[in-house]
Structure 1
Amino acid sequence: MKKAFSVALFILLLIGESKGQIATFKYVHYDSQIFIKVRLNDETDTLNFIFDSGAGNTVIDLNTAKKIPSLSVDTGAGISATGAGGAQKVFLISNYAIIHLGNIQLGSVPMIAMDLLHLSEQFGRKIDGIIGYDLLKSFLTEMNTDDSTIYLYSFKDKIKAKYKSPLSFKFYSNIPIVQCAFKLKNGAEYSGPFLFDTGAGITAFINTPYVRANGLLKKSGSAIMHTTENLTTSSTSYDVRIRGFSIQHNTFNDLIISLTDVKEGVNAMKDITGILGNKIILRFNILFDYSNRRIYLSPGRQYETPFESIFSGLSFRIKDQKVLINSVVPQSVEERLGIIAGDELLSVNGNTTKEMYAIKKYFKIPGEKNIVVVRSKRNNEIATYKIENRKIL
């Protein structure tokens, strides 16, 4: 989430017609993120961008930008970008970019460059950039989660007629804010404004001031401390199970949300209750109408899919082609076995895959007894553990 620029975005269409459906392109849903392919300027290589409604500006990875001759990175003009966990120095691209998406071009797009390595490590996939507002403000944008396709229309198109009542929103730094509500297991109900963020791979975050003002951590019962890698830094949160979460007339029951504990960044803001993420958002087919500040939601195929529980105390990241333990839940079986953050995961059930999605899948099957081989960070010794997936939240 970035500080907004006031530079106009000009749309260059490769087709002459400006009404009706303008373009379509596929996306890849990987580990709760939406990846799309883009090209910049006259470059022939495609780049992996995250489609993120929580991105107020278009971002390119600093190292990727330096490798593109047509981009000029002003490394002497660092500014501060505020994310869910805090602030990080970013750099302006002194010349505007032309972004190719499917059969269209977005021209004169202002971009900022920042180091996205930590995000690539988190998802185990190279992330070259992030795009959100600059696309969504330019087209009536439909994200069909049933067929993994994004459709772009003229804002005058009648596609809105197939959707029911719209969800009104306001902007915060070019990011939509919608009203949501949630109910704790003890029956206590809360509501407020949430950022509508397709770049957040969670159900929902509750901001730290709201958590503290309402004593949510104490009222929620069992909680698991968790470390999350955000756009700008890492942060601490507590996963808790709640009775229900609602957006518009849609209520989802028995799910886990995260109560944040941070000192800076978006999650430390007092005037926002929290962030709504993809584990709820992607249960809908979505139509973004930024010209009228409306979002239309229609239940998709995943609408009634049960939410995941937590069966493992481990989280992972990819660094230098190695799978590393990113964090270990305190008092978990894994911690009692002596596994610590920084240990290297060599294999699970004999599989040495570096695909993050495949690794996580092993630890989501209830009752599965995984053979986990780990190289210790402390003494470089290799140990083998048999760990059964047991529900911890």
Structure 2
Amino acid sequence: MKTLIFCIMLIWPLMLAAQTKPIATIPFVLENNGIYIYCQVNAADSLKFLFDTGANGSVLSEAAATRIKLPRTGTTRNVGSNGTNTVGQSAGNVVRFGSLTKSDVLLAVIPYKGFNFDGVFGTDFMKGYVIEVDYHKKELRFYEPAGYHNDLSAYARCKLRFVDDYPTITSTIVANGRRYTGRFGLDTGADDVLTVAAPFGRKHGLPGRLPRIGTATSQGSDGSTYESAVVLAPEIRFGQKCFYRVPATLPQSTSGVNATEDKAGFWGNGFLKRFNAVWDFDRNYLYLKPNKNLYTEL
């Protein structure tokens, strides 16, 4: 028995050592369902960025770009939720977040109005890392993928599929005994719970099948403001879990992201904040574990 106890004492420190250390730990604040971190762009520090898995490129607001005298090197096409527009861009920038640095960064410059942040931290900054999103400690932890060995046995694993650089998972809306299944985007940059893409909603007649409970007014990055019906989905199947009486918006967009035909809709951070998450962009997996926000009001 003494020998057995001695062996356990030797093994326990090895188990602790197996936990991977992050290469950067960045505190965040949660405001209106958005995850915000502070970054440095060139010589300008303490710029507030929205952590946005629904953006495949990173952005600086027009106001912030003017304030820090960001040079413009051309234009690019911005696809917003309800339309598209042409915006400025700036090449050759250096962006620092935590202890990490990205060089030769291309930033779009978008004239956001009514938004309280300086920029958008898109998936172009996230790829190449495993990122833990911890809502209890309010931390983003970045890891090198090859050395990541943290215990994820308490997490549900979801396979990610990228559609036009947009991370998606399969989800199902259940109503009146029928199931409507599709690939739904994962958008931590959206503050709502669920948006159903207009073509998917029309194809399955969801405006007539789901009870309407209100109207939402939204503004996209293209500058357009639009109204959408808010309906109540009786049941949603997300990964391995079921949720009931979930509010969802049904936009009638004819252009922009909400008019896409290759995705069924988008989960916003009003829903995703209910899970501590591990984004493994290297292997295309998302790991989810319910957190203290799970039963907050939808």
For Structure 1 versus Structure 2, the TM-score category normalised by the shorter chain is 0.7 to 0.9
Q: What are the Cα deviations for residues 217-248 of structure 1, in whole angstroms up to 9, with x where unaligned?
A: 11113342322112222222110112121211
Is residue 37 from structure 1 mapped to residue 38 from structure 2 by the alignment?
yes
8 Å Cα contact 1:116/1:128 also seen in 2: no
Q: Equivalent residue for 1:87?
A: 84
Q: Equivalent residue for 1:134?
A: 124
User: How many Å apart are 1:281 and its aligned residue?
Assistant: 0.6
Q: Equivalent residue for 1:191?
A: 181
Distance across 1 between alignment mates of 2:151 and 2:67: 41
User: How many Å apart are 1:160 and its aligned residue?
Assistant: 5.3
8 Å Cα contact 1:163/1:296 also seen in 2: no
Q: Equivalent residue for 1:261?
A: 252
Change (3 A) 1:200 1:285: same
8 Å Cα contact 1:235/1:261 also seen in 2: no
Q: Deviating runs (4+, > 3 A) in structure 1?
A: 160-165
Task: Tell me whether 278-287 or 217-226 shows the greater mean CA deviation.
Answer: 217-226
Distance across 1 between alignment mates of 2:152 and 2:64: 41
Secondary structure of the corresponding residue to residue 36 of structure 2: strand
8 Å Cα contact 2:23/2:142 also seen in 1: yes
Higher RCO (C-alpha under 8 Å, 6+ residues apart)? 2
Q: Equivalent residue for 2:145?
A: 155
How do 1:116-265 residues align onto structure 2 when only pairs under 5 Å count? 116-118=112-114, 120=115, 125=116, 127-156=117-146, 157-159=148-150, 161-184=152-175, 186-232=176-222, 233-265=224-256
8 Å Cα contact 1:20/1:154 also seen in 2: no
Q: Equivalent residue for 1:303?
A: 294
CA RMSD of aligned residues (A): 1.7
Distance across 1 between alignment mates of 2:113 and 2:77: 17
Paired residue type of 2:81: A
User: How many Å apart are 1:212 and its aligned residue?
Assistant: 1.2
Is residue 57 from structure 1 mapped to residue 57 from structure 2 by the alignment?
yes
Secondary structure of the corresponding residue to residue 302 of structure 1: coil
Distance across 2 between alignment mates of 1:285 and 1:46: 25
8 Å Cα contact 1:66/1:73 also seen in 2: no
Secondary structure of the corresponding residue to residue 263 of structure 1: coil
Distance across 1 between alignment mates of 2:283 and 2:212: 42
Instruction: In structure 2, list runs of 5 or more residues that go unmatched.
Output: 1-19
Distance across 2 between alignment mates of 1:160 and 1:266: 36
User: How many Å apart are 1:62 and its aligned residue?
Assistant: 1.7
Paired residue type of 1:100: R
Distance across 2 between alignment mates of 1:193 and 1:102: 33
User: How many Å apart are 1:189 and its aligned residue?
Assistant: 2.1
Q: Percent identity?
A: 24
Paired residue type of 2:292: R
How do 1:296-375 residues align onto structure 2 when only pairs under 5 Å count? 296-307=287-298
User: How many Å apart are 1:91 and its aligned residue?
Assistant: 1.2
Give TM-score, length-normalised by structure 1.
Answer: 0.67
User: How many Å apart are 1:108 and its aligned residue?
Assistant: 2.1
Paired residue type of 2:83: G
Give TM-score, length-normalised by structure 2.
Answer: 0.88
Distance across 1 between alignment mates of 2:33 and 2:297: 15
Distance across 2 between alignment mates of 1:223 and 1:217: 11
Change (3 A) 1:172 1:96: farther
User: How many Å apart are 1:198 and its aligned residue?
Assistant: 0.3
Q: What are the Cα deviations for residues 333-372 of structure 1, in whole angstroms up to 9, with x where unaligned?
A: xxxxxxxxxxxxxxxxxxxxxxxxxxxxxxxxxxxxxxxx
User: How many Å apart are 1:163 and its aligned residue?
Assistant: 4.8
Q: What are the Cα deviations for residues 301-330 of structure 1, in whole angstroms up to 9, with x where unaligned?
A: 1123342xxxxxxxxxxxxxxxxxxxxxxx
